[in-house]
Amino acid sequence: MLKNKVFLIICISLFTLIWTGCFAQNEISSPYSRYGIGLVNNTSNMTLASMGNVSYAMQSNDYINFRNPASYVAFDSLSFVGDIAFNISSIHLKTTALTQKGTIGRLGYITIGLPVTKHWRTSVGFIPFSDRGYNITDVQTLPEIGNVNYKYSGTGGLMQLYWGNAFKLCKGLSFGFNLSYLFGTLSSTRYEEFGGDYYYNYRIAQNDYADGIYIQAGLQYKVNIGEFHKLGIGAVYENSAYVWMKRNLLVNRYVNEYNSVNTYDTAYAVLNQKGSMRIPQSVGGGLSYSYKDKLLVGVDVTWQNWQKYSLKWKNSTTAASVDSLKDAIVINAGLQFIPDPSSGKFGKNIAFRIGTRFSTGYIQIRDIPISEFSISAGIGLPFKTFNSKCSLNLLLEYGSMGNLKNDLIRQNYVKIGLNLVLVERWYQRVKLE
């Protein structure tokens, strides 16, 4: 037992270091991550991600559902739960004239869950909140000047460190909340390069540093209908959070001299400019149904108020940044089937999962909404030891974002995910004779 605990601690430490490195060097190569705070991470744990990210009414003692903190009440009263996930994505970008491919791998999240008292459970974890990574080139022809090259690039994102608590209010009813610290850096660089020699070219580099508090609250109600049927209802509210910002802006000018290295001259600089970012609220609800623990289905609906997003800087003459964002509706649906959950045979208690997700999209370009769609499938492989049980979960997901209208970009991806869940019995009741 002690060896298992030591091994678990080493694994968590190692994966934390790897994950931190992956996040710091994030480049997801998505042009749509240029807008707002980047592409928002709406994923669930790997189990629920295989079911279309349906989560609001889901709870189990075999995984950590951080999308609804009320679900933590399902943790076993004598056990520790740890969940580590990794994924790799192949991204395909397409316009009417060009295509581009790339592959990105990273650790997805690290979470743990613990019992505190009979009616109180807690959880902590690291989860990516948003990702930014793009590299765009545009060429325009101006009168009397000729071709002008515009280059846009960006990296970074926001990270979520959460502490969650759940409380059993009465039979079947639970309440929970996640108190999260958001932090990270959003970097962007723009080049304006003129075709001829000895023209002044410009590089505008901006680093935005963010930190703030974010609250998520949830409710769940579970009820048995007869001997074999269970219904679940869940609801989640995420508050409209104001995140404190600090900006460093540097404008350089330079000339393209033949066969020489560019020499940069600082034209304008702003250091430690303070501001605030408003991350809008969202409200969601979901239903679940299970039969004999063999069949589990669920559906979620979420409304995200992205029209209220803003980014303001003190002592700035420019208006707040809204990036043409709009409110979005997200629908998730999924199914899980286990042939015989009570069987001791390995092949009988493998979990098979499938799901889908659709979003109207919160990004809007040239009055065209950038909608999203994905389908997912996965399996769960359980393992048991004397003091613990583990599950290895595999995810395969295909998704599409955007379209080719008005010279826009269609982004397709294939994601493969893997996670390891460990439920370790740390507390033992001892009988005194």
Give the pLDDT score at 107: 79
Around 217, how many Cα atoms within 13 Å sit in the side-chain half-sphere? 5
From 304, 300, 303, 367, select the one nearest 334 (Cα to Cα): 300
**How far is it, in rounded angstroms, from Cα 411 to Cα 134?**
12
Give the pLDDT score at 266: 77
Around 269, how many Cα atoms within 13 Å sit in the side-chain half-sphere? 5
CA angle at 325 for the pair 323 and 330, rounded to the nearest 5°: 150
Give the pLDDT score at 197: 62
Q: Are 255 and 199 in contact (CB under 8 A)?
A: yes
Mean per-residue pLDDT of the chain: 85
β-strand 241-254 against 39-40: which pairing, if any?
Answer: unpaired
Region 184-205: what's the mean pLDDT?
84
**How far is it, in rounded angstroms, from Cα 113 to Cα 124?**
7
Structure confidence at residue 365 as a pLDDT band (50, 70, 90): confident
Structure confidence at residue 34 as a pLDDT band (50, 70, 90): confident
Q: What tokens does 117 get?
A: 């008292």
Residue extents of the structural domains in the chain: 2-425
Number of H helices and E strands in the chain, helices first, is 2, 20
**How far is it, in rounded angstroms, from Cα 95 to Cα 117?**
56
For the cut 50, the answer to whether the pLDDT of residue 327 exceeds it is yes
Q: Are 100 and 93 in contact (CB under 8 A)?
A: yes
Kindly calculate the radius of gyration of the chain based on its CA atoms and give it in whole angstroms: 24
Give the pLDDT score at 17: 45
Least confident of 123-132, 197-206, 293-302: 197-206
Give the pLDDT score at 22: 46
The per-residue pLDDT for range 267-324, each reduced to its tens digit, is 788 899 999 999 989 999 999 999 988 999 999 999 999 998 988 888 775 555 556 7
Give the pLDDT score at 23: 43
Query: 3-class DSSP state for residue 32?
Result: helix
Is 2.40.160.60 the CATH number for 2-425? yes
Structure confidence at residue 262 as a pLDDT band (50, 70, 90): low
The per-residue pLDDT for range 129-182, each reduced to its tens digit, is 998 988 888 777 777 667 788 888 999 999 999 999 999 999 999 999 999 999
Q: What tokens does 219 get?
A: 């409710």
From 305, 238, 224, 180, select the one nearest 56 (Cα to Cα): 238
For the cut 50, the answer to whether the pLDDT of residue 19 exceeds it is no
Alpha helices in 298-427 (DSSP H): none
Is the torsion defined by CA of 272, 278, 157, 372 positive or negative? negative
Phi-psi region of 51 (alpha: psi -120 to 50; beta: other; left: phi over 0): alpha
